Amino acid sequence: MPDAAQVLDALRQVRDPELHRDIVSLEMVRDLQVDGGKVAFTVVLTTPACPLRETIDGDVRTALAAVPGIDEIDIDWDSNVRASFREGGPAPIEGVKNLIAVASNKGGVGKSTVSVNLAVALAALGARVGILDADITGPNIPTMLGIPPGALASGQQGLHTIDAHGVRAASIGFVLPPGTPVVWRGPMIGSGVRQLMRDIDWGELDYLIVDLPPGTSDASMSLCQDALVAGVVIVSTPQRVSLEDATKAVSMFDRMGVPIFGMVENMSSEVFGTGTVAETADELGVEFLGEIPLDIAVRKGGDEGVPVVVGAPESPQAQSFIRLAEQVAARCSVLQYAGEARVA
């Protein structure tokens, strides 16, 4: 009959495909039990949104098949999202393990749509997720999540999070009566973003998605200077003018020392084009995170407050956002482990 040492030796041959280390040294194997020919243990993934769980499962079973005497393998799956760490960087937000910014230097590219569906997709995959609407002068997140604008305007508790579709959301739009404009100068916008980050009780989150306004000035700078940003997702449509602005956003975050998870091509279609964001990402040396097809279901989901990931989870459009969430979560894990290795 096999013993625990033989099982662990076999599992050391299984490498996490993205972290490039064996799952035993990564402490992903927990609670190992060997009872005759039955082997049971837990594999703790770095994120519940891991895109390579099936690959790891297959590699584990292949490795254990080479150990004589094993006739039954029982694997439980769990996850433990690690917190971002950057030596000498800004302090993290209390309770938030990873802050992920969604940005574009150009308006109208569907950045808020990507932010909402990314957040909801991560939550659907099992993560604890929040979304912060940092577009102070144009807060659209309430509408896209089905939360009435001004939902907290008449309350006495001030601004706090509201849960929607498994996500904890905060937006200045919660406390503004419908139709009320925010006429603020730049420094006030930066201050507003800081208050949304620091003065709100977010609870315990694996990921906080921050929907940034267009441009590379006050809101984006305040975020980078005042919070530990795990990484940024750059959204662009395929047109040349959008790509020009997206390229500037990549440069801005690179100068601010913020890791760039990659670029997303939104509204990919015959109308606007396809494939150009992937080409631009390659030229810039950043990851391409996928295409989101232009489709009426995505638009309707935003207008009706039911994101397509919730309203039509099996649709090709929803699956595109699920794959994006998996890619973003994986990129976050890779950079976390790389940072820990450098510190060690």
DSSP string, 116-173: HHHHHHHHHTT--EEEEE--TTS--HHHHTTPPTTTTTT-SS-S--EEETTEEEEEGG
Q: Taking the mean position of all CA atoms in its chain, how far away is CA 15?
A: 24
Phi then psi for residue 208, to 5 deg, are -115, 115
Give the three-class secondary structure for 235.
strand
Q: Please give the model's pTM, rounded to 2 decimal places.
A: 0.93
Which amino acid does the sequence have at 338? Answer: A
| CATH code that applies to domain 4-79 | 3.30.300.130
Pairwise CA distance, residues 121 & 344, whole Å = 33
Q: Where are the domains of the chain?
A: 4-79, 96-343
Pairwise CA distance, residues 327 & 321, whole Å = 10
Pairwise CA distance, residues 99 & 328, whole Å = 12
The continuous run of DSSP H or E covering 16 comes out as none
Q: pLDDT tens per residue, the chain (344 residues)?
A: 899 999 999 999 999 999 999 999 999 999 999 999 999 999 999 999 999 999 999 999 999 999 999 999 999 999 999 999 887 778 889 999 999 999 988 888 999 999 999 999 999 999 999 999 999 888 999 999 999 988 988 777 788 999 999 999 999 999 888 888 888 777 788 888 889 999 999 999 999 999 998 877 778 888 888 999 999 999 999 999 999 999 999 999 999 999 999 999 999 987 778 899 999 999 999 999 999 999 999 999 999 999 999 999 999 999 999 999 999 999 999 988 876 655 44
DSSP character at residue 26: T
Q: Which fold does the domain 96-343 belong to in CATH? A: Rossmann fold (3.40.50)
